[in-house]
Amino acid sequence: MGVEHEIREKLDAAFSPRLLSVTDESEQHRGHAGWREGGETHFRVEIASDDFAKLSRIERHRAVHRALGSDLVGRIHALALQIEA
């Protein structure tokens, strides 16, 4: 299972988002720190879910980090998050 798919599944399960977009942007970072051959190093996630309504901005990010798990977050180099309630 690819990382992109793994991110999507975990966030889907955790937040039942009404919008979820996961993009592997590794190719745009070719040669940068953390990049490696084969990609799956740099991801961008846009997510919108009612679950975030009561959370502060920092708490929203923490909730997403937790849902993905430290193992996955540790494996990828970069995760850009855009989170909306």
Partner 1 sequence: MTADTKTRIDETVKASDVVLFMKGTKEMPQCGFSSRVAGVLNFMGVTYTDVNVLADEDIRQGIKDYSDWPTIPQLYVKGEFVGGCDIFTEMTLSGELDQLFDQKGVTYDKAAADKIREANA
Q: Report if residue 53 touches partner 1, rule: CB under 8 A.
A: no
Residue span binding partner 1 (CB under 8 A) among the ranges 1-9, 12-20, 47-55, 75-83: 75-83
Interacting residues of 13 by C-beta distance below 8 A, sequence separation 6+: 67
Cα separation, 72 vs 70, whole angstroms:
6
Cα separation, 66 vs 13, whole angstroms:
12
Residue keyed to tokens 């970072």: 29
Cα separation, 22 vs 7, whole angstroms:
7
Residue span binding partner 1 (CB under 8 A) among the ranges 1-9, 11-19, 47-55, 57-65: 57-65
Choose, by CB under 8 A, the member of 34, 75, 84, 85 that binds partner 1: 34
User: What minimum distance in Å lies between the beta carbon of 57 and partner 1?
Assistant: 6
Q: Report if residue 33 touches partner 1, rule: CB under 8 A.
A: yes
Query: 3-class SS at 33?
Result: coil
Q: Which residues bind partner 1 (CB under 8 A)?
A: 29, 32-34, 57-58, 61-62, 65, 70, 73-74, 78-82
